[in-house]
């Protein structure tokens, strides 16, 4: 009995940090390159993680919105423009929740489309993981094999051992690395009130391209995956509630200088893959981020940067593989074809385009206008 409880606790801790591969690159890029306030981002993410764990009671993730993150790096969105995009996103998701449109959208979406997007995201995560591993191939391969071995051992959580062991090994392989000089203090979010001019670029470069991806990955696919992984504990995880929590979270976080937030199937797969089974997983992650934001502030960036990309790549790779493995077989030839098309477009272009194309193809099949 003691061993079982010990394993469960370690699994929750391991699952809590398992989504760092998705979380860190976008957040660190927004802070270091985009100039967003570190304390604001860590604190708002921490609070959202804690609330999400308390509300859903299973490891629903909280992630940075990827297209807005890319827009910060590529188009140099300002803090005001990021806040404007977050406010517009939060308001849209809140309206979708309270009007019931989120549930209607889910009802109109066939499984072949959502599962195609899920598999496409899994392949994309695995490919991104391989890209990270190649930044330090020897270290990455060692950690991947190490974690693969630990999956068979319930006493040692794979993600904790991988992150800690990989970071220590990096210091051995690269003596030029040094531990950051950390100084404790008290830091608080910085209020950001976007100007009307911020909404123009925030809308075209952030909100508009991000919205379809959020609706597919953060809402539709996350709801389906949650019911697959937690059939008896996921009654609260539906399209309406996911839109509602994200809507409220973004409306509160954006004016406090936070980063636009989403849920995500990849993060859910990561938390689950590495041992997360309850709401304690996101709550623990939230406490870590809250502590980092309040007591370390900008120094928290230096601390998190010591985790090698090759180590994060291992987390991403195994999480992506799990998303692909979770896809069911299709007995219907048309559904299988639709799934394959959505999968390919999701990888080659993006999930939002794949979603729209899949809906059109499904409609044409149902009308009998296209046959295979």
Please tell me the distance from the alpha carbon of residue 352 to that of residue 172, in angstroms, as a whole number: 43
pLDDT value at position 280?
95
pLDDT value at position 61?
96
pLDDT value at position 2?
43
Classify 308 in phi/psi space as left (phi over 0), alpha (psi -120 to 50) or beta: beta
Please tell me the distance from the alpha carbon of residue 232 to that of residue 76, in angstroms, as a whole number: 44
Yes or no: say if 217 and 246 are a contact pair by the CB < 8 Å rule.
no
* Among candidate residues 205, 213, 214, 242, the one with its CA nearest the CA of residue 227: 242
Give the rounded distance of the alpha carbon of 229 from its chain centre: 17
Please tell me the distance from the alpha carbon of residue 186 to that of residue 106, in angstroms, as a whole number: 43
What tokens appear for 47 in the block?
Answer: 């609070």
Give the rounded distance of the alpha carbon of 197 from its chain centre: 29
Residue 89, classed as helix, strand or coil, is helix
* Among candidate residues 174, 128, 186, 72, the one with its CA nearest the CA of residue 315: 128
Q: What is the DSSP letter of 254?
A: G
pLDDT value at position 7?
54
pTM of the model: 0.86
User: What residues have CB less than 8 Å from 149, skipping those under 6 apart?
Assistant: none
Full pLDDT tens readout for the chain, 372 residues: 344 544 568 789 889 998 998 899 889 989 987 889 999 999 999 999 999 999 999 999 999 998 898 888 878 899 999 999 999 999 999 999 999 999 888 888 888 888 888 888 889 889 989 999 999 999 999 999 988 887 766 666 778 888 889 999 999 999 998 888 888 899 999 999 999 999 999 999 999 888 988 998 899 999 999 999 999 999 999 999 999 999 999 999 999 999 999 999 999 999 998 989 999 999 999 999 999 999 999 999 999 999 999 999 998 898 888 888 867 677 788 888 999 999 999 888 888 788 888 989 988 988 888 777
């Amino acid at each position: 009995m003691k061993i079982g409880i010990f394993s469960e606790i370690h699994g929750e801790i391991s699952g809590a940090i398992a989504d760092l591969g998705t979380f860190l690159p976008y957040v660190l890029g927004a802070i270091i390159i985009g100039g967003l306030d570190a304390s604001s981002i860590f604190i708002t993410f921490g609070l959202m993680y804690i609330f999400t764990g308390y509300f859903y009671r299973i490891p629903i993730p909280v992630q940075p919105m990827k297209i807005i993150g890319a827009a910060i790096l590529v188009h140099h969105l300002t803090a005001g423009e990021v806040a404007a995009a977050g406010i517009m996103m939060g308001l849209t998701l809140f309206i979708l929740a309270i009007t019931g449109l989120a549930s209607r959208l889910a009802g109109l979406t066939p499984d072949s489309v959502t599962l195609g997007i899920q598999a496409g995201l899994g392949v994309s995560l695995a490919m991104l993981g391989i890209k990270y591993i190649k930044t330090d191939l020897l270290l990455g391969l060692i950690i991947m094999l190490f974690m693969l071995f630990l999956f068979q051992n319930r006493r040692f959580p794979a993600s904790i051992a991988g992150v800690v062991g990989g970071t220590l090994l990096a210091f051995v392989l690269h003596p030029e690395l040094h531990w950051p000089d950390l100084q404790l203090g008290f830091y608080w979010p910085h209020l950001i009130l976007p100007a009307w001019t911020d909404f123009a670029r925030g809308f075209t470069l952030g909100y508009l391209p991000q919205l379809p991806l959020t609706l597919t990955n953060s809402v539709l696919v996350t709801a389906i995956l949650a019911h697959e992984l937690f059939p008896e504990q996921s009654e609260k995880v539906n399209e309406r509630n996911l839109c509602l929590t994200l809507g409220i979270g973004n409306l509160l976080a954006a004016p406090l200088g936070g980063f636009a937030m989403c849920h995500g199937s990849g993060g859910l797969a990561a938390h689950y893959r590495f041992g997360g089974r309850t709401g304690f997983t996101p709550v623990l992650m939230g406490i870590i981020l809250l502590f980092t934001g309040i007591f370390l502030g900008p120094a928290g960036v230096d601390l998190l940067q010591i985790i090698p990309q090759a180590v994060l790549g291992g987390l991403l790779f195994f999480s992506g593989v799990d998303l692909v493995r979770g896809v069911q077989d299709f007995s219907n030839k048309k559904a299988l074809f639709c799934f394959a098309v959505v999968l390919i477009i999701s990888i080659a272009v993006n999930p939002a385009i794949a979603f729209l194309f899949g809906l059109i193809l499904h409609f044409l099949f149902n009308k009998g206008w296209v046959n295979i």
